[in-house]
Amino acid sequence: MRYQWRLLQLFLRSHHRIPNHSQHLQVLPSSSSLLPRFAPNSTFPLNPTLRLFSSEPVLAHTESDYNLVADIFSKHRDFDDVKNLLDSNRVSINHDVALAFLSKLDANADVARRFFHWVSENHPERLSSKCYNSMLRVLGTNGFIDEFWELVGVMKKKGYGVSKDVKERVLECFEKGGMDGDVMKLKGLFDNSSEKNCSVVCRIVRHNVWGDDAERQIRDLNVGFTGEMVKSVLENLSSEPTKALIFFRWLEESGIFKHDGYTYNAMARVLGREDSIDRFWKLVGDMRSAGFEMEVETFVKVLGRFCKRRMTKDAVELYEFAMAGANKPSPQCGTFLLRKVVAAKQLDMDLFMRVVKAFTGSGNVLTDSMVDAILKSLTSVGRIGEWNKVLKEMEDCGFVASGNIQSKIAFRLSAAGNKEQAHEFVNRIEASGSNPDHKTWESLVEGHCVAGNLDKAFDSFKEMVEKEGVASAGYTFDLLVNSYCQMNRAVDACKILSKLMSEKELKPWHSTYKMLITKLLVQGGFADALNILGLMRAHGFPPYTDPFIEHLSKCGSGDDAVLFLKAMTSKRFPSTSVFLQMFEAFFKHGRHDEAQNFLSKCPRYIRNHADVLNLFCSMNSKEATSAGMLAA
């Protein structure tokens, strides 16, 4: 048994190489459409085959191993599912296994795509140029044309070329399929010496420690470097910015190539990242000293990267650098950066003001839409309390808010419950020499109402009336009264109305009277409702009787009914029809005794009126009939 075990070990050693982990290949972008993602929650039955009587993982190399791996990747699975299935079956995938597996999948493209995607996402170091070419062959010979060209692009960035064998096999498929455009494109890939040279240069730089040998290899290529080629090399080396910079500096120091603004900008785009920030600033300084300007494309790309990585200080310095040059960023870039500054982990007003000053110092004007966007960003991170601080700094730099933005700010501050902040804003408008317009006051009151700060809303309304008068206060007062009523404070609203009418000659809207009367009756303010009815009549509005009649018929007394009838008219009593409505309402709710009581308090001409007598006789007859039926 021991002899057999040793033979088995020797067999494994002779058939498998130790995987080479020294190669570091770039992971394919996770957003790439090259290969499909795996569906979650998938399961797969474990292979019951006994594996060498060992707990150590084995290398998938036999036909059964191939079938197992093919089975695992035959369905969409997520990372954990695949890993668990490989681990539970003790299968290890190294470079040789990946290459061998891909070489067998010409007729099973979907499995190959899932396998390649999984390895490239999770173990990119196990994929070599040969692996990429094998995958390229699978895609090209199975009609996945878009993915074929996308993978070619990825390979170019890694410094990998398309092998002659793959080219010939795929070219044959393209020609048979009548894909003339792709045929020309694939042939051009090999005819383009510039692309080939770029690929070779990238491979030399990427896979060698920089020194005399690497320099000699590049010189021996006898490449005629152009700005476009240098840019391509730098872009392809973007994942290794240090090597890219060494190559960039060596080109000019060696006298092979003289850099211009085009290549400087390409290098700046490579270095504009967190782990190369010092080199980036040194490079852009050298670029400007050499008389070259930062391109807008470079600025936008690097600024976006800085903001994404929350490098706020560097983003501000980059903006200042660009604004001091000839290619000034657009106003939209200034707004974008200011929003990022105020939404940073900590609000740094120094950085904020540096951006504002760089913006306005170049002749730009702070606009309402710009300020609105900044305030929204502050709100999104819970900093509405910092609005005034930010606004004041912008006002010091020339911002003048229009009436529209003033009203928006007043409403948002007061509606958010920032009472002091809201009034500080309004007071600052007045201190600047311009009075808040009517809409701003209206929005301030409405915001306090929304927040439930009714006393503050009333104070703001009084201040508004003091400064603007009552001529156009109807809508705002209606908002105020409605809010009091909604908070079950109709009686307080009644007192406010009476006071303002007597002191300021306020004339509420008809709808305001009607709403207040209705709410007073519901909230137990019958006497106050009668008072409002009188004020309403004094302002020339028709009496609002329906809620009174409804209220009295359910819970009022005869005496209350008399008070109501007297309050609704300037005469001693209203018309007979109103009395009849009141009697009918009492009868409708079964309050016959109260109807009789009310009748006894009515003037004689009502008690003797034919319609009234007929109504009572009719109701008495119905009562008698009902009593007889019950007795029977």
Q: Which residues pair with 91 in a beta bridge?
A: 58
Q: What is the mean pLDDT of residues 354-376?
A: 93
Whether the CB-CB separation of 16 and 92 falls below 8 Å is answered with no
CA 227 – CA 205 distance, rounded (Å)? 18
The residue written with tokens 């807008």 in the block is: 296
- What is the residue-averaged pLDDT of the chain? 82
Q: Which of 250-264, 415-429, 482-496 has the lowest mean pLDDT?
A: 415-429
Q: Any long-range contacts for 113-116 (C-beta under 8 Å, 24+ apart)?
A: 113/34, 113/35, 113/36, 113/138, 113/139, 113/144, 113/147, 114/35, 114/36, 114/38, 114/73, 114/76, 114/77, 115/69, 115/73, 116/35
329 burial class (0-12, 13-18, 19+ CB within 10 angstroms)? buried
Give the torsion sign (CA, 593, 594, 597, 603): negative
Q: What is the pLDDT of residue 98?
A: 81
CA 226 – CA 214 distance, rounded (Å)? 20
CA 19 – CA 251 distance, rounded (Å)? 35
Q: What is the mean pLDDT of residues 89-95?
A: 76
Question: 3-state SS string over 22-78?
Answer: CCCCCCCCCCCCCCCCCCCCCCCCCCCCCCCCCCCCEECCCHHHHHHHHHHCCCCCC
* pLDDT for residue 628 is more than 90: no
Whether the CB-CB separation of 517 and 526 falls below 8 Å is answered with no
Residues in contact with 162: Cβ distance below 8 Å, sequence separation at least 6, in sequence order:
133, 136, 152, 155, 186, 189, 190
Q: Which of 74-83, 249-258, 375-384 has the lowest mean pLDDT?
A: 74-83
* CA 279 distance to own-chain centroid: 33
CA 563 – CA 558 distance, rounded (Å)? 9
DSSP SS3 for 362: coil
Provide the residue type at 371 as one letter. Answer: V
In order, the DSSP letters of 492-520 are HHHHHHHHHHHHH-----HHHHHHHHHHH
Q: Which of 41-50, 124-133, 588-597 has the lowest mean pLDDT?
A: 41-50
The encoded tokens of residue 64 equal 């059964």
DSSP 385: G
* CA 216 distance to own-chain centroid: 52
Q: What is the pLDDT of residue 625?
A: 58
Q: Which of 3-7, 133-137, 574-578 has the lowest mean pLDDT?
A: 3-7
CA 121 – CA 27 distance, rounded (Å)? 6
Q: Which residues pair with 183 in a beta bridge?
A: none
DSSP SS3 for 618: helix
Q: What is the mean pLDDT of residues 255-273?
A: 93
Residue that wins the pLDDT comparison between 359 and 470: 359
* CA 252 distance to own-chain centroid: 45
* pLDDT for residue 542 is more than 70: yes
Q: Which of 54-68, 127-141, 538-552, 604-618 has the lowest mean pLDDT?
A: 54-68
Residues in contact with 509: Cβ distance below 8 Å, sequence separation at least 6, in sequence order:
474, 475, 477, 478
CA 103 – CA 288 distance, rounded (Å)? 52
Task: Please state, as a whole number, how many other Cβ atoms lie within 10 Å of the Cβ of residue 485.
Answer: 22
Q: Which of 72-76, 84-88, 244-248, 608-612 has the lowest mean pLDDT?
A: 72-76
Residue that wins the pLDDT comparison between 525 and 48: 525
Q: What is the pLDDT of residue 632?
A: 46
The encoded tokens of residue 585 equal 């309402």
DSSP 293: -
Distance in angstroms between the alpha carbons of the first and the last residue of the chain: 113
CA 313 – CA 319 distance, rounded (Å)? 10
Which H or E element spans position 92? strand 91-92
* pLDDT for residue 3 is more than 60: no
* pLDDT for residue 32 is more than 70: no
Q: What is the pLDDT of residues 448-495, one digit of tens each?
A: 999 999 999 999 999 899 888 888 889 999 999 999 999 999 999 999
Q: What is the pLDDT of residue 251?
A: 93
Q: What is the pLDDT of residue 292?
A: 92
Q: What is the mean pLDDT of residues 347-362?
A: 94
DSSP 295: -
Q: What is the pLDDT of residue 35?
A: 35
